[in-house]
């Protein structure tokens, strides 16, 4: 019985510098995964011209100068994965999430051509990270400054956020697998609120008498329990647990300095929020992290 062909990695290009950096990231990742790389340019038209079918136009990129430039730039390069070039007409914010149904990973830059230079994240990046059916990697521009006092360990490093009271196994698995493929250390960031607040008799929040060392110890125990299965599946991955009080987004952004990748999850659908949502932590990390950010959709969710 033949082995099924793995789904491709999809890289969105539009001729911008951000998309060129994203393409380089996607080329390396597709090679690591042993997957084809599908290079896609979505030729955008105005919303009022959008037909009923979101993905329209020929698959062949004839006459598409953006795809032609990419093809020319890659000609003669060695060590590339198998490449496929596609042009589509439509709105990138709609077309890219739709194409993610037939991809194992979608990669794009923070801002596309025509975006405002002051924007930290373009609308297409937001839409793809929020709506795609597969994990999405958003590659930021170089030189994004992140301040912090935490020492940066040497060597390749993958950072993943862990919510200890509701761990996402899909996000953890993605981070462990990427660390295993790249030989990187995996830094697991688990933040806990401090001071712990409770309602008072007067309706205000007041600090409790919970000891901070006890709270940190409990968070560490929960984190160890949450990652035990993935540690067992990936014994070759060097794991570091980073437990600290305060804002999870702030710790993830701070630890993105000189990291290879930051991995965060996306909100699960619930009755109170039936539409896909990024969540405040994921959105903040996408806006401010210095490294590429992978947004992993939850498993077992109907994202149609």
Q: Please give the model's pTM, rounded to 2 decimal places.
A: 0.85
Confidence at 29, pLDDT banded by 50, 70, 90 = very high
Confidence at 4, pLDDT banded by 50, 70, 90 = confident
Domains defined for the chain, CATH in brackets: 9-139 (3.40.50.620), 157-296 (3.40.50.12370)
Confidence at 51, pLDDT banded by 50, 70, 90 = very low
Residues 6+ apart with CB under 8 A from 111: 16, 18, 117, 119, 121, 122, 125, 141
Mean pLDDT of 229-237: 97
104 close to 8: Cβ distance less than 8 angstroms: yes
Q: What percent of the chain stands above pLDDT 90?
A: 59
Q: What percent of the chain stands above pLDDT 70?
A: 78
Mean pLDDT of 150-154: 78
Report which of 127, 139, 66, 72 is spatially closest to residue 99, judged by C-alpha positions: 127
Task: Give the range with max mean pLDDT: 82-86, 123-127, 143-147, 265-269.
Answer: 82-86
């Amino acid at each position: 019985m033949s082995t099924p062909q793995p789904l491709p990695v999809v890289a969105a290009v539009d001729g911008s510098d951000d998309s060129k950096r994203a393409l380089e990231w996607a080329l390396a990742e597709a090679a690591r995964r042993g997957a084809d790389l599908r290079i896609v340019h979505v030729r955008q038209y105005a919303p009022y011209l959008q037909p009923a079918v979101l993905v329209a136009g020929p698959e062949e990129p004839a006459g598409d100068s953006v795809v032609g430039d990419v093809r020319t730039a890659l000609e003669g390069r060695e060590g590339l994965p198998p490449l496929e070039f596609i042009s589509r007409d439509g709105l990138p914010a709609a077309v890219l999430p739709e194409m993610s149904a037939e991809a194992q990973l979608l990669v794009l830059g923070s801002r596309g051509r025509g975006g405002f230079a002051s924007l930290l994240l373009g609308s297409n990046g937001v839409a793809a990270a929020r709506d795609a059916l597969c994990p999405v990697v958003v590659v930021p521009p170089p030189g994004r400054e992140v301040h912090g006092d935490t020492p940066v360990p040497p060597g390749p490093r993958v950072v993943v956020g862990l919510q200890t009271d509701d761990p996402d196994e899909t996000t953890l698995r993605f981070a462990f697998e990427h660390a295993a493929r790249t030989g990187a250390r995996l830094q697991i960031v688990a933040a806990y609120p401090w001071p712990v607040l409770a309602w008072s008799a007067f309706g205000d929040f007041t600090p409790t008498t919970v000891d901070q060392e006890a709270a940190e110890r409990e968070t560490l125990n929960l984190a160890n329990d949450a990652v035990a299965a993935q540690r067992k599946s990936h014994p070759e991955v060097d794991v570091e647990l980073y437990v600290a009080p305060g804002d999870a987004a702030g710790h993830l952004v701070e630890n993105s300095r000189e990291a290879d990748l930051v991995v965060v999850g996306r909100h699960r659908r619930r009755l109170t929020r039936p539409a896909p949502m990024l969540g405040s932590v994921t959105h903040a990390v996408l806006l401010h992290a210095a490294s590429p950010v992978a947004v992993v959709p939850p498993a077992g969710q109907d994202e149609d």
